């Protein structure tokens, strides 16, 4: 007896397959993988709904007790079709233990980038006081939470570092060498200048807010990709979107994409305020924005599945393959117009949308949230719910 069978799910390329999940892993998949098999739970999609590996949001703020940027992991995760979320520096060494305990009680897979400031983001300028950057406490926290802490986070913009300039980033690179973990660097207003930041980054480091529209952005006055950014990309530095409340400019993204500077990861930088009041709303909304900016649908999906899994070093995630985690996102790829806004007030009209329908986590939790299925007819939603035994709506 199998744990879960998904019958006739449609891939983004139009192919229809079955997926069989046992013990939290994909055990079989293909056009007839479920033939003559039975399972404790079955979902029949009739070739109508799309499926992909579970979506990964590489930049969120989902520590509920954070004083500035906070949310509930399941509201930024499975409620929006996202099976894995990464909190990007909300917590530091002082509060990572509590955050870890919170994440053990949710359905969404949660990981953390540890802020190099031991306080995390308890105020806007956590890196203005160098005494908050405590390597001993940071390394101890990483050892305590190996596998949960998957990287370090440094917010390198004027409002955060104050008069310290590049010093926090220089310290972060030393801390990174000791830990062996990826480093995610937030870019924003100068100082420090973008060129100074980018020139310190090495292969596998992540620039988040890569398409922000602030004066310190990646496009030069002539409309070209800045040479320092070209060199960073050539070294293997990773571009992460990190939309957020202030960090996605359609004109900057469009110009970068014209130069072939595609994002490696599409992430939301979501927290309660920009989830409810916009302009983020959900990872699916951010994915739809990049579809509208000209990225092919498969490219968009790769940015929230295999690319994210590879960049974040999450083994067994991001692929629909035998032996990989049984994390699946069910969604509609719908031909429907929508007005989309960036963080600077620019609008674009999209012709297609990603609409999440359900999140399956480790083949066990099947979440069909009411609030993210507005694009699905009532009849179809009821049919889907009836096809899932013991579904758990949020």
Q: Could you tell me which residues are annotated as the binding site?
A: 59, 61, 153, 186, 209, 269
The DSSP-derived string for 219-268 is B-TTSSBPHHHHHHHHHTPEEE---TTT---HHHHHHHHHTT---SB---
Residue 263, CA distances (Å) to 93, 254, 278, 304, 312 in order: 30, 11, 21, 10, 14
Report the sign of the C-alpha dihedral through residues 372, 378, 383, 388, in that order.
positive
**Whose structure tokens read 């062996």?**
180
The DSSP-derived string for 272-304 is HHHHHSSS---HHHHHHHHHHTT--HHHHHHHT
In angstroms, the CA 352 to CA 360 distance is 24
In angstroms, the CA 390 to CA 235 distance is 49
Output the six-digit token pair for 91: 């917590």
Between the two ends of the chain, the Cα-to-Cα distance in Å is 28
In angstroms, the CA 289 to CA 317 distance is 24
With contact defined as beta carbons under 8 Å apart, do 113 and 150 qualify? yes
Q: How many helices (H) and strands (E) does the chain have?
A: 13, 15
Across the chain, the runs of DSSP E, i.e. the strands, are: 2-10, 16-22, 25-30, 39-44, 50-53, 55-60, 82-88, 109-115, 149-156, 183-187, 206-208, 238-240, 328-341, 347-361, 365-367
Question: Residues annotated as binding site for Zn(2+)?
Answer: 59, 61, 153, 186, 209, 269
Tell me how crowded residue 257 is: count the other CB atoms within 10 A of its CB: 16
């Amino acid at each position: 007896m199998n744990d879960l069978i998904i019958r006739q799910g449609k891939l983004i390329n139009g192919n229809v397959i079955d997926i069989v999940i046992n013990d939290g892993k994909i055990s079989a998949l293909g056009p007839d993988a479920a033939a003559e098999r039975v399972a404790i739970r079955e979902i029949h999609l009739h070739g109508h709904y799309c499926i992909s590996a579970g979506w990964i949001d590489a930049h969120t703020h989902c520590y509920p007790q954070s004083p500035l940027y906070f949310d509930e992991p399941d509201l930024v995760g499975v409620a929006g079709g996202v099976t894995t979320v990464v909190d990007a520096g909300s917590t530091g060494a002082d509060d990572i233990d509590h955050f870890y305990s919170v994440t053990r009680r949710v359905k969404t897979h949660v990981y953390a980038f540890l802020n190099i400031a031991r306080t995390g983001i308890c105020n806007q300028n956590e890196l203005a006081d160098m005494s908050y950057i405590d390597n001993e406490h940071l390394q101890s926290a990483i050892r305590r939470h190996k596998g949960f802490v998957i990287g370090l986070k440094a917010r390198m913009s004027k409002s955060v570092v104050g008069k310290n300039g590049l010093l926090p980033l220089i310290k972060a690179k030393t801390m990174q060498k000791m830990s062996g973990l990826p480093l995610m660097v937030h870019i924003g207003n100068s100082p420090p200048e973008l060129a100074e930041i980018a020139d310190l980054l090495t292969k596998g480091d992540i620039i988040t807010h890569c398409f922000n529209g602030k004066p310190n952005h990646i496009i030069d006055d002539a409309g070209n990709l800045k040479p320092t950014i070209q060199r960073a990309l050539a070294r293997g530095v990773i571009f992460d979107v990190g939309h957020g409340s202030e960090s996605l400019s359609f004109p900057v993204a469009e110009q970068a994409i014209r130069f072939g500077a595609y994002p490696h990861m599409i992430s939301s930088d979501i927290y309660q305020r920009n989830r409810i009041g916009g302009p983020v709303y959900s990872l699916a909304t951010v994915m739809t924005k990049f579809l509208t900016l000209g990225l092919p649908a498969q490219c968009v999906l790769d940015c929230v599945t295999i690319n994210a899994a590879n960049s974040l070093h999450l083994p067994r995630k991001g692929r629909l393959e035998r032996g990989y985690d049984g994390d699946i996102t069910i969604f509609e790829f719908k031909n429907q117009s929508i007005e989309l806004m960036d963080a600077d007030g620019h609008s674009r009209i999209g012709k297609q949308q990603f609409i999440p329908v359900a999140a399956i986590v480790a083949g066990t939790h099947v979440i069909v949230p009411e609030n993210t299925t507005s694009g699905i007819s009532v009849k179809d939603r009821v049919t889907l719910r009836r096809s899932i035994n013991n579904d758990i709506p949020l």
